[in-house]
Amino acid sequence: MSGRKLASDFDLGILLLQHFGDDARRHCLEVLAWIPETQAGQLDQL
């Protein structure tokens, strides 16, 4: 179920990007960089 949690957190990150702009985007990229599943390519999609 951790994959489902990750997807939920990722969606929340997208919402934060839309509401708070570049500062939130940078913060989300830093946080997502700690999650191995996102290092392969999801970061490039943001």
pLDDT of residue 40: 56
Q: Determine contact, residues 21/28, Cβ cutoff 8 Å.
A: no
How many CB atoms are closer than 10 A to CB 38?
Answer: 21
pLDDT of residue 37: 63
Model-level pTM?
Answer: 0.29
The encoded tokens of residue 9 equal 């957190």
Domains of the chain, by residue range, sit at 2-45
Mean pLDDT per block of 10 residues along the chain (46 residues) reads 66 75 75 67 57
pLDDT of residue 46: 55
Return the percent helix, strand and coil in the chain, to nearest 5.
85, 0, 15
Rg of the chain on CA atoms, in Å: 10
pLDDT of residue 4: 65
